[in-house]
Amino acid sequence: MTSSSRDAALAHLERHFDDHLDALRALVRIGGVSAEPPPNPTLAKSAAAVVAQMQAAGLERCRVIEVPDAHPYAYGEWLGAPGAPTLLLYGHHDVQPVGRLDRWETPPFEPTPRADGRLYGRGAVDDKAGVMAHVAACAAWLRGPGALPVNVKLIVEGEEEIGSGHLEAFLQAHRELLQADCIVLTDTANLDEGVPALTVSLRGIVAVTVEVRAIERPLHSGMWGGPVPDATLGLCRALGALVDADGQVAAPLRAGVRPPDDAARARLEAIPFDEARFRADAGLLPGVELVGDASMPVYGRLWREPALSVVALEARPFKGSTNQIVESARARVSVRTVPDQDAAEVEAALVALLRENVPWGLELRVTPEASARWWSTVPDGPAFDAAARAMAAGYGREGFYIGCGGTIPFVEPFANAFGGVPALLTGVEDPRCAAHAENESLSVQDFQSAARTAVHLYAELATALDHRA
């Protein structure tokens, strides 16, 4: 590889960017909601369309890979650089359900550019842009100078949005096929529009359903209220004990939290934070306070501190409600966990706190749900340095190492299957992209920058990971 071949690849990308954007729009138009059970013709069509794009880019052995009871994968590779490092590139082609249709300003599966420089549509940013950034970068090398500087294996999953339930089995079954020196997972966020970032930590999740019962059947609140306790209030008292007066997660749920070390703290403090912007992006109402550990930067509270949410609460709906004491109330509670918390310990602490705090002898039942582990990596070494150079070149400014407050189930199976291999988590989401919500959108400029970054990344990793050097 010479610097002139990298220039040729970049020139090819610029010349054909509009074609890649059209291809992205065509993928958005197909849809592919993985919440609908397999086999599903839309997911099959979506996987086939990704395969066709891989083929057009010049990748080889492009095919749909079927996994029993799962939505299909798309796969393509190019192994024409013997002795050079091999990258495993990951994205997903399935999408979230559209949510409330009447909230969409333009139809979800009709990709629509707007004057704000963004392309609106379900899947535009999550994760079809992530997939197409790699397809475009591969095309730029293979159709421009004629060869990639590295070997690549691109896998595009079909069930990420429903928890990647078959990914572990898929990776185990295709272990030989998928051997690589570095994995590039392209489904996370930038710090902001135009501000690139690599994600180096994810929170985990522990969740339970809690149900409180007081009476066998609903009672007239006038004839029985007073001596007979109210299950909904009892549940609220128990839930209230899960946080302190400052809104910080109760101490027993914080067991095991590892404070960021000096290097991690320095990375956190290096990230510019604009509270007004943060409040606006979150849609916080005037006067509403930020909660959590005030000694920790806000990004630290998002990425390195546990968080607790009541994600569902049910007693009696307004419609049809009368003056009754209801017989039961239930809630679903989730805790986002961080290094080095143990999921089983957090779950036990959550159950114990609820038990200790449910009043008046009310009957309590807690049902745990599946948990997922946190993940973190230390961004040291040649692969991370290469990624930093690629981001700076692709976006025209230095990137940041950030965390992600969410939980991404696909990272753990990769870590298990390829332990020790560096994992680079990249992507084109940003704080205004509304991934998973109505009016999802992609910054078209960042899509272009991400494709440029991928062109640079392949070249940078080719040198940085070359064992022959």
Binding residues (CB under 5 A) for Zn ion: these are 126-127, 187
Q: How far is the CB of 45 from Zn ion (least distance, A)?
A: 19
Which of 334/407 has CB closer to Zn ion?
407
Which of 124/358 has CB closer to Zn ion?
124
Q: How far is the CB of 169 from Zn ion (least distance, A)?
A: 20
Neighbours of 405 (CB within 10 A): 17
Which of 187/305 has CB closer to Zn ion?
187
Q: How far is the CB of 24 from Zn ion (least distance, A)?
A: 15
Both tokens of 416, joined, read 């298990």
Which of 124/308 has CB closer to Zn ion?
124
Burial string for 99-112 (b: 16+ CB within 10 Å, else e) reads: beeeebeeebbebb
Q: How far is the CB of 188 from Zn ion (least distance, A)?
A: 8
Q: How far is the CB of 414 from Zn ion (least distance, A)?
A: 14
Which of 148/167 has CB closer to Zn ion?
167
Which of 149/427 has CB closer to Zn ion?
427
Both tokens of 135, joined, read 């397809």
Q: How far apart are CA 339 and CA 358, in angstroms?
A: 29
Q: How far apart are CA 84 and CA 151, in angstroms?
A: 7
Q: How far is the CB of 127 from Zn ion (least distance, A)?
A: 4
If residue 386 lies in a helix (H) or strand (E), which one and from where to where? helix 382-395
Which of 159/230 has CB closer to Zn ion?
159
Q: How far is the CB of 430 from Zn ion (least distance, A)?
A: 14
Q: How far apart are CA 401 and CA 388, in angstroms?
A: 9
Burial string for 168-195 (b: 16+ CB within 10 Å, else e) reads: bebbeebeeebebbbbbbbbbbbbbbeb
Q: How far is the CB of 419 from Zn ion (least distance, A)?
A: 23
Q: How far is the CB of 126 from Zn ion (least distance, A)?
A: 4
**Distance set, CA 30 to CA 43, 121, 159, 281, 325 (Å):** 9, 11, 16, 29, 49
Q: How far is the CB of 406 from Zn ion (least distance, A)?
A: 10
Q: How far apart are CA 182 and CA 461, in angstroms?
A: 9
Q: How far apart are CA 257 and CA 340, in angstroms?
A: 6
Which of 126/230 has CB closer to Zn ion?
126
Q: How far apart are CA 230 and CA 266, in angstroms?
A: 49
Which of 189/343 has CB closer to Zn ion?
189
Residue type, position 163, single letter: G
Contact assessment for residue 456 and residue 394, using Cβ atoms and an 8 Å cutoff: yes
DSSP string, 256-325: TPPPP-HHHHHHHHHS---HHHHHHHHTPPTTPPP-S-TTS-HHHHHHSS-EEEEEEEES--STT--SEE
Contact assessment for residue 61 and residue 76, using Cβ atoms and an 8 Å cutoff: yes
Which of 128/301 has CB closer to Zn ion?
128
Q: How far is the CB of 167 from Zn ion (least distance, A)?
A: 13
Q: How far is the CB of 442 from Zn ion (least distance, A)?
A: 12
Q: How far apart are CA 49 and CA 45, in angstroms?
A: 6
Which of 168/293 has CB closer to Zn ion?
168
DSSP string, 48-83: HHHHHHHHHHT-EEEEEE--TTSPPEEEEEE--STT
Which of 127/460 has CB closer to Zn ion?
127
Alpha helices in 98-241, H assignment, sequence order? 129-143, 167-173, 221-224, 231-240
Upstream peptide bond of 127 is cis (omega within 30 degrees of 0): yes
